[in-house]
Structure 1
Amino acid sequence: MAANADLSDFLRTCRANTNPETAGIVAPDAAAGRRVRGLRREEVAQLAGVSVDYYTRLEQGRHSTPS
């Protein structure tokens, strides 16, 4: 279970510390509608090529054997 917690912490930290501009996500009103400082889960999942549900399970530590 510790590995799941480590992965969860890593993913949350990386997502929070990456801004949309650095990741190449540009929207005309990007700053106005953002409630989070970093990337949204949907944006990370899209960039990684995985489903939002899969990424959410990874980040929440609910996946036993991530690929």
Structure 2
Amino acid sequence: MPTNRALSAFLIAKRAAITPATAGIEVTGARRVPGLRREEVAFLSGVSVDW
């Protein structure tokens, strides 16, 4: 599904553009990819990770 790949690439790029320090989140542990984790995005958005 090309649409899913495009959406995935878009979300990954947007998450990578914001650092935890910029978002006001304490950095804990090593990160495999730059930017915010899904859990952090969900927290900042006010939704659950499962949603």
Q: Same fold (TM over 0.5)?
A: yes
Rounded Cα–Cα distance in structure 2 between residues aligned with 1:34 and 1:11: 21
Instruction: Show structure 1 runs of 4+ deviating over 6 A.
Output: none
Aligned to 1:13: 13
Q: Secondary structure of the equivalent of 2:50?
A: helix
Q: Are 2:14 and 1:34 equivalent residues in the alignment?
A: no
Q: Secondary structure of the equivalent of 2:29?
A: coil
Higher gyration radius (CA): 1
Structure 1 unpaired stretches of 5+: 55-67
Q: What TM-score, normalized by structure 1, do the two folds share?
A: 0.57
| Structure of greater relative contact order (alpha carbons < 8 Å, 6+ residues apart) | 1
Q: What TM-score, normalized by structure 2, do the two folds share?
A: 0.69
Structure 2 unpaired stretches of 5+: none
The count of residues paired between Structure 1 and Structure 2 equals 50
